[in-house]
Amino acid sequence: MKIGIIAHLKHPIRKPFMGGLEAFTYDITCLLMRRGHDVTLFASEHSDPSLPVHSIMSDMDYDRETFSRFRAHELSEDFISTHHAYLELMQDIDNHGFDIIFNNSLNYVPITMSTIIDTPMVTVLHTPPIFEMKRAIGKIKRQSKMTYVSVSQSNAQSWQPYLSNCQVINNGIDLKKWTFTPTNSREYVIWFGRIHPDKGTHYAIEAARLAGKHIKIAGSIADRHYFDTLVAPLLGHDAEWIDLCTHDQLNTLIGQAEVSIITPCWDEPFGLVVAESLACGTPVAGFARGALPHIVNEQTGALTSSCNTQQLAECILKASTLSRMECRARAEKALGMEKMVSAYEKLFHDIVDAKYLPHAI
């Protein structure tokens, strides 16, 4: 099958990934190619050259220190550049002869222009409803043959007012890359990911301290002000920050931890860190927001519905008693990338086959 993948343009699609969307796009591109599909990835120019990248946007102005392609006063310029990149792509995309277009852009232009192209398109909803996308979907859903997919059941529910029957294909991870550790070191708990207000790092530190646990924070600083004002003052002998580490180092850190603390402060659509923790055999303590309650069950984690750190501390203690084998089993049953890609493959084939069915008279 010939597949055109449209990427988000905020960051290049390359390691180290700036977030789950970049990781998703990279991994699914690689797996579809491995399964024999002819794939083209429409992304920004500094994306990984080992991928079949067709550049649609320059990275000349991408700042590798701030991980941003614009300064504050250039926001409108960035918006216009992104708009035109997608506009030019969609005007030409039928000429590539794709069987299907796999849209992961989080942008309204591919959705709006789906009404004027012949190639069928699948759009993945990686976020809760955002203004420009829900407006575009609302305007064209009666005219378009677009197929929408949500990355989790909770995210599909949040889109319910705009899309009544949105298919769900859970995100997944490459389980082969995450080694199961049957016993932990009992020396620390872990929080890992981007250090950002949305991720609630400071809650994890406070709760670990209340639970009497040493905590290791593994991740890059995505918001310097947040780190300096709310995270750094909490660091000390029982709370250490580890900057960027290799995949193998992170695998070991997670696997040796008693518990992973996951503290989303918004309705996160999926959260790959949950799947990664369970794949390592490490149970989860966290906030019951977004997809987390749908991914973690009573055998693999303990969640609180509030942002109360005392309640989170109690969840840490409870999670530390759970079976690590159950955690790995949960990841293998529901959170593997192979299962995810197979579901997308089936969807693509169903859509393409339906396109060539004779119309009912």
**pLDDT given for residue 90 in this prediction:** 97
**pLDDT given for residue 72 in this prediction:** 46
**pLDDT given for residue 38 in this prediction:** 98
**pLDDT given for residue 125 in this prediction:** 95
Q: Where are the domains of the chain?
A: 2-172+336-355, 175-334
- Helices within the chain (DSSP H only): 20-34, 75-92, 108-113, 131-140, 153-158, 201-210, 224-226, 247-256, 272-280, 292-295, 309-319, 324-334, 337-355
**pLDDT given for residue 10 in this prediction:** 87
Question: For 291-329, what is each residue's pLDDT tens digit?
Answer: 999 999 999 999 999 999 999 999 999 999 999 999 999
Give the single-character DSSP code of 94. Answer: G
Positions of the chain with pLDDT lower than 70, given as ranges: 61-76, 141-144, 356-361
* Superfamily grouping for domain 175-334: Glycogen Phosphorylase B; (3.40.50.2000)
Can you tell me the distance from the alpha carbon of 23 to that of 174, in angstroms, rounded to the nearest whole number? 11
Question: For 31-78, what is each residue's pLDDT tens digit?
Answer: 999 999 999 999 999 999 999 999 999 877 666 655 565 554 455 677
2-172+336-355 and 175-334: same fold?
yes
**pLDDT given for residue 67 in this prediction:** 58
**pLDDT given for residue 142 in this prediction:** 60
Q: Indicate yes or no: pTM above 0.95.
A: no
**pLDDT given for residue 68 in this prediction:** 63
Question: For 186-205, what is each residue's pLDDT tens digit?
Answer: 899 999 998 999 999 999 99
- 259 class by beta-carbon count within 10 Å (0-12 exposed, 13-18 middle, 19+ buried): buried
Q: Which token pair is 267?
A: 């309705």
Phi, psi dihedral angles at 149 (to 5 degrees): -130, 135
What number does CATH give the domain 2-172+336-355?
A: 3.40.50.2000
